[in-house]
Structure 1
């Protein structure tokens, strides 16, 4: 036991220390109150703190990369594979209705070969409130992309100003995903996923894209790319490429992103930044423009070269029926490739002559 005098002295010392600590803390709080408005005003009002800032802090100041309720990086992190790869698709009200495009899209994952588990890594980017509400009912990972420029709830009519805004908005959004450090497979929702495509991707490519027409060579710039399906790795080269692609809309006013890509794919800037661009074979990544030739090799099928919601839904349903029929065959018949696609059907390639008609709608 300590002598009584020493105990009293110790108590006084502790009390004095607590007093000075309390005064110091009060001063600190007062100082922070005076400066807090100046400090926090540097962040957007919708910013919510989730962990430490990204190594790409500019993305947090970008309205494309944030939503008032669900920060993009949080959604991506929850959906990402181990190597930070996510699968992305966009959805508006027109395609979100029950028994519409999004339901067929998700069904293809469920019945495909090694595709069901890929749904765990799919993020649906909703372009309007109704699409976001439907997404929350049918899927796990949803992000509401708030837009101050346009409201994309209705079916977009080909080459109208609203259609062009939606397409370029998509390019700018994908750039923000790359800046956050995530690789992505972007897929239109009118693409049926029948096999896991990852084994068919080029391992050395920064940017690889499906084609409306494939010449037979994966590095031939004469290939006709389709912006509805691509796999992009996050690095300085791909980020600079997406910035260049987006800025090129000003050099080619009135063109959509896919046409502009065809213009810039041979631009010297691509060589300067060292981007490795590859084109995907329609044998594995087919579409109605150029259907895959063998159901034993097909990974995805796109309802491209198709105009009008009714025609698109009709042919997408036939694709799913054809795939189910193929799956029901014994292995010996599958190897013989006795089954072929019954599409295009309503999506006849003759409809391409209506390309310039504003009454004809399309989401490529």
Structure 2
């Protein structure tokens, strides 16, 4: 028995060493099917790693090799998996759509389902799902994503647990927001342009015609002041369109490291602090703020249904509040889209939300 264990251990070490060497020396071109299989094996191996030899579909050392090879802390090929997901989802000009997801928002009939539904019922938005990458912050969200969408990637964060709903401005919430900025910086360094979207943003119309062609970094607003160049606008980090170049790569690093100067602030508040910093203008970053006429939300809704591109459940806290009001929002949008084409231009349609969200902060204060 001891000899058998010793031989298995030696064999395991040799196999892991050979696999690691092959990862370093050989380029990997993974398909989406390969990516799914790798992660499925990795998950299975976690539970079966110590299955006695002969008592499972694979011997124990095989599970250990899979587990240690594909786990994020040890598997260097994880970077290849990310590259494969990005490549499969990318447009011809290396532009992708990106959102983040945790288990709380991925539950059936929750935010993620509404988010995907909006693409299906929006105007010229369904094709954009082919370019959407969902960055999953935990294993449950990753499994749920794979069941619904082809381009999923599990982002490992050492020592973090993003599974449950993170209370607004809690330490988990702040860590999750800054991890997001850090990851977006990585995408820019890889040469990808991206539209980042929070999952509580409903995509109602293709937004690309409304983006400014000369801007490096453009961002939606909670409140738009009428001038897309004005730093008086109050931006919302939940929706950005960023082009990969030396200016944006520098800016995201500057933004991320500025958190140290403003502890206990989330990324959006820190952006409000640094948006007027002379370093940004000196570096030549072209920043524009998106008009809420096209990129609206519960803070400042888009009033023209023939122009609105996105609607965000901002100025709102609480998962249940967001789900309730976004479900109503999509019902209103469906009703508008069902009108005959000639009637949509003259229809006096208006939003019936926010409802629960309009008092969510007051109710949060009473319970805190």
- CA positional deviation for 1:333: 2.7
- Per the TM alignment, residue 145 of structure 1 is displaced from its structure 2 partner at its CA by 0.2
Of 330, 352, 360, which aligns to 1:351? 360
SS class of match (1:347): helix
Structure with greater Cα Rg: 1
The equivalent of 1:293 in structure 2 is 303
Corresponding residue of 2:28? 50
In the alignment, is residue 156 of structure 1 matched against residue 134 of structure 2?
no
Do 2:28 and 2:80's aligned partners in 1 also have CA atoms closer than 8 Å? no
Q: Report the counterpart of residue 46 of structure 2 in structure 1.
A: none
TM-score (norm 2): 0.79
* 1:90-101 map, 5 Å: 90-101=100-111
CA distance in 2, matches of 1:240, 1:355: 37
- What's the counterpart of residue 239 of structure 1? 249
Number of aligned positions between the proteins: 307
1:109–1:47 CA distance, 2 compared to 1 (3 A): farther
Q: 1:304 aligns with which of 310, 314, 317?
A: 314
* Secondary structure, counterpart of 1:90 in structure 2: strand
Aligned with 1:266 (options 266, 276, 285) = 276
What runs of 5+ residues in structure 1 fail to find an aligned partner?
Answer: 1-36, 52-61, 360-364
Q: Give the drift of 1:206.
A: 0.3
State the TM-score, normalized to the length of structure 1: 0.80
Match of 2:225 among 215, 219, 222: 215
Report the CA distance between 1:149 and its aligned residue: 3.2
Distance 1:117 1:270, change over 3 A: same
Q: Does 1:130 align with 2:134?
A: no
Matches within 5 A, 1:47-196: 49-50=27-28, 68=78, 71-196=81-206
Q: Secondary structure at the match of 1:304?
A: coil
**Correspondence 1:280 to 2:258:** no
Residue in 2 that maps onto 1:331: 341
Distance apart, 1:335 and its partner CA: 1.2
Higher relative contact order (CA 8 A, sep 6+): 1
Task: State the 1:146 CA deviation.
Answer: 0.7
Please report how far the alpha carbon of residue 357 of structure 1 lies from its aligned counterpart in structure 2 after TM superposition.
7.5
The Cα shift of 1:247 comes to 0.2
Counterpart CA distance in 2 for 1:47 and 1:342 is 58
CA drift of 1:306 comes to: 1.1
